[in-house]
Structure 1
Amino acid sequence: MALDNLISVSFSKHELKELQNHLAGIEALLKGKTVNLTPEQRRQYGRIANQNKLLVDKAKDYMGQHPNWIPRFLDKKEFVRL
């Protein structure tokens, strides 16, 4: 059992064509709604690690408890949507 290849997958030509069609449909739906960031933009925006996520979640809590503390430049609806 330990030597069995459990992830070996093969597709027929018809299945591959179906996959390509579905992927093309997904790409068409996403076109114009997604943005490609440059490497410089990726460095600028960074990412939210688990440690930072706790801070963001705490900020959401405070925004709910004290709406008058929200800075005017922050779009609360967009922030909470994420």
Structure 2
Amino acid sequence: MPFDNLNNNHYTQAEKTAVVEAISTLETVLAGRFKNLSPEERKRYGSINEQNKLIVNKVLDYRKNQSNLSSPDVDWEEFQNDYDSRSFLQETIAKLQNLISGLDNNKILHDFDNYQASLTDYGYSQYKAGTKIAGFETKVTEISQFFSRTATANNTTAQNLKTEE
């Protein structure tokens, strides 16, 4: 017997509404802070790598512990604000990525359950089509278009290989 119903944990309407409202709230709160960067700007400014983050952290450490060694040409209040914002955003991104990962895993299980149930229904429809009960032949024909034929797939693969050579 195949595994089915891998995820029987379904969302209530209240939970769905709460999630949609929470996301809307996030979008509203954050929208004014977003900056659109062109691909060139993203490449130009990029993200500092781990080595450069160590430099920033060391400069901040010196600023906090030996401020007399800090350059007077740096706006240290802005430096601290940038650092705090960056830390907040990094923590927020990590939390959102964890949520996305959990949601994606949950969706995969629901997709699998739907697909397995659909295959079961298709098999039942094939059986019923064999009994000539009205409607099942049409249903089987319409669903069968979504299954690839092995010979066709092999021919397409062979043609693709010839094209690539």
Matching residue of 2:38: 38
After TM superposition, the score normalised by the length of structure 1 is: 0.66
Matching residue of 2:80: 80
Contact 1:63 1:70 in 2 (8 A): no
Shift >3 Å, 4+ stretches:
66-69
Counterpart-to-counterpart distance in 1, 2:26 and 2:70: 40
Bigger proportion of residues as helix: 2
Matching residue of 1:11: 11
Determine which structure has greater relative contact order: mean sequence separation of CA pairs < 8 Å that are 6+ residues apart, divided by chain length. 2
- Which ranges of structure 2 fall in alignment gaps of 5 or more residues? 84-165
Counterpart-to-counterpart distance in 2, 1:36 and 1:13: 34
Q: Which has the larger radius of gyration?
A: 2
The one-letter code sitting in structure 1 at the alignment partner of 2:71 is I
Q: How far did residue 29 of structure 1 move?
A: 1.5
Q: Report SS of the residue matched to 1:48.
A: coil
Q: CA RMSD in A?
A: 2.5
Q: Report SS of the residue matched to 2:18.
A: helix
Contact 2:63 2:70 in 1 (8 A): yes
- Which ranges of structure 1 fall in alignment gaps of 5 or more residues? none
The alignment covers a number of residue pairs equal to 76
Counterpart-to-counterpart distance in 1, 2:68 and 2:44: 28
Counterpart-to-counterpart distance in 2, 1:28 and 1:67: 42
The 5 A counterparts of 1:18-37 are 18-37=18-37
After TM superposition, the score normalised by the length of structure 2 is: 0.38
